[in-house]
Amino acid sequence: MIVPFIDLKAQYLSIKDDIDSAIAAVLDEAHFIGGVAVKTFETNFSEFAGLSHCISCANGTDALEIALRALDISQGDEVMVPALTWISTSAAVNQVGAEPVFVDVLGDERTMNPELIEEKITERTKAIIPVHLYGLPARMEAIMHIAEKYGLRVIEDAAQAHGAEINGRKVGTFGDLTTFSFYPVKNLGGYGDAGAILTNDEELARSCRMLTNLGQLEKHHHQLIGRNSKLDTIQAAILNAKLPHLSRWIDRRIELARRYDSLLSGWDKPRTPEGFTHVYHLYVIQASNRNKVMSQLERGGIGCAVHYPTPLPHQECYRYKGHQLGEFPVAEKLGAEIISLPMYAELTEEAVEQVVACLSEMD
């Protein structure tokens, strides 16, 4: 049996009628920008996230950029970001003219190491963007403590962590603003690009709303230079059809992770701190002989991937910063050893057993 790394078609087929009629309804109404579907999604997703305002936008990268602009972060400012994350987290900082400052991650949890933040704070530091990487919440208590001590703003990058919690409290409810992506493979994904910014702060919500819509709250009244970053109506309809299933899909991911955990004895597996709810956007193991492990999986017909092989400070686009190998030892080691295994709600127990059987056949 082939076990693909991801199977978006399986999920579509499991709710095909709902999706097809949601799309058909948009076509029938012929209201292609905004409309009821977008409003409904904003209302329902803010309820899911436990935050009072949801401003939808075109994708998760725009969401980060808009959140930064809403906090007035620009030229001359510095923003802390983890060394191991998807490029959007730091690129958004550059996009507003500010400078990302990379912080190494925790070896076990792979999220930003709070103990390394303070030594990098300067008078230019304005904000921290912790990332709930792979679906595991970052150490928000420690990060918020530092933010309060130094008067820094916090944007949570929850693109990979819809529904993740710390002691029953949802991610996104700790910082000033939180951003989500609904890129197709995310825990809640559209059939194209989509994103959102959420907050409990009414002023910030207003700013985000203006920034996504060319600076206007009222038509033809442009209060600032904004951008055009909208959640597509068809994507909103698809997300509305999927949202009622999200909690069940998350539970299923957790169940599959437990199965991997129990079968993968002797492997370096994801670790979850006490009280943290990991929602397993990705199930990431670690091996010093990664190439060999990945070839073994490929030979066994099992899809796998690396998220992410090169820590951001060592990407070509950040060469200008002059970072040297060895400056981010934990992210560098993870970059060389991590492997993401198949993980999605439609994965079967048998498929998980096959992945593990393939790994245990290694000599």
The token pair at 44 is: 């329902």
Q: Which run of H or of E encompasses 56?
A: strand 53-57
Minimal distance, residue 133 CB to ligand PLP, in Å: 7
Q: Which of 57, 105, 117, 159 touches ligand PLP (CB under 6 A)?
A: 159
Contacts 24+ apart (CB under 8 A), 356-361: 356/260, 356/263, 356/264, 358/296, 358/297, 358/300, 358/302, 359/264, 359/267, 359/293, 359/296, 359/297, 361/296, 361/300
Q: Which of 78, 104, 193, 332 touches ligand PLP (CB under 6 A)?
A: 193
| Residue 190 found at the interface with ligand PLP (CB under 6 A) | no
| Residues 137/276, Cβ–Cβ less than 8 Å | yes
| Residue 174 found at the interface with ligand PLP (CB under 6 A) | no
| Residue 60 found at the interface with ligand PLP (CB under 6 A) | yes
Amino acid in the structure at residue 234 = I
- CB nearer to ligand PLP: give 63 or 351: 63
Minimal distance, residue 184 CB to ligand PLP, in Å: 9
Q: Which phi and psi (to 5°) does residue 126 adopt? A: -115, -30
- CB nearer to ligand PLP: give 161 or 345: 161
DSSP letters, 94-148, are: HHTT-EEEEE-B-TTT-SB-GGGTGGG--TTEEEE--B-GGGPPP-HHHHHHHHH
Minimal distance, residue 92 CB to ligand PLP, in Å: 8
Angle formed at CA 337 by CA 135 and CA 156, multiple of 5 degrees = 25
Minimal distance, residue 361 CB to ligand PLP, in Å: 32
Q: Which of 41, 45, 86, 283 touches ligand PLP (CB under 6 A)?
A: 86
By CB under 6 A, the residues from 19 to 58 that bind ligand PLP are none
Helix, strand, or coil here: 10?
Answer: helix
Minimal distance, residue 314 CB to ligand PLP, in Å: 17
Q: Which of 56, 90, 113, 181 touches ligand PLP (CB under 6 A)?
A: 181
Q: CA 227 to CA 210: how far, in whole Å?
A: 8
Site string for ligand PLP, 279-318 (x = CB under 6 A): ----------------------------------------
Q: Which run of H or of E encompasses 88?
A: helix 88-95
Minimal distance, residue 181 CB to ligand PLP, in Å: 3
Q: Which of 46, 56, 61, 272 touches ligand PLP (CB under 6 A)?
A: 61
Q: Which of 90, 160, 213, 286 touches ligand PLP (CB under 6 A)?
A: 160
Q: Which of 46, 85, 199, 296 touches ligand PLP (CB under 6 A)?
A: 85
- CB nearer to ligand PLP: give 88 or 207: 88
Site string for ligand PLP, 125-144 (x = CB under 6 A): ------x-------------
The token pair at 358 is: 């393939």
**Radius of gyration for the chain, computed over Cα atoms and rounded to the nearest angstrom:** 20
CA dist list (Å): 314 to 134, 169, 309:
21, 34, 10
The end-to-end CA distance of the chain, in Å, is 21
For the chain, the residue count is: 363
Q: Which stretch binds ligand PLP (CB under 6 A): 36-44, 82-90, 114-122, 268-276?
A: 82-90
List contacts with ligand PLP (CB under 6 A).
59-61, 85-86, 88-89, 131, 157, 159-160, 181, 183, 193, 195
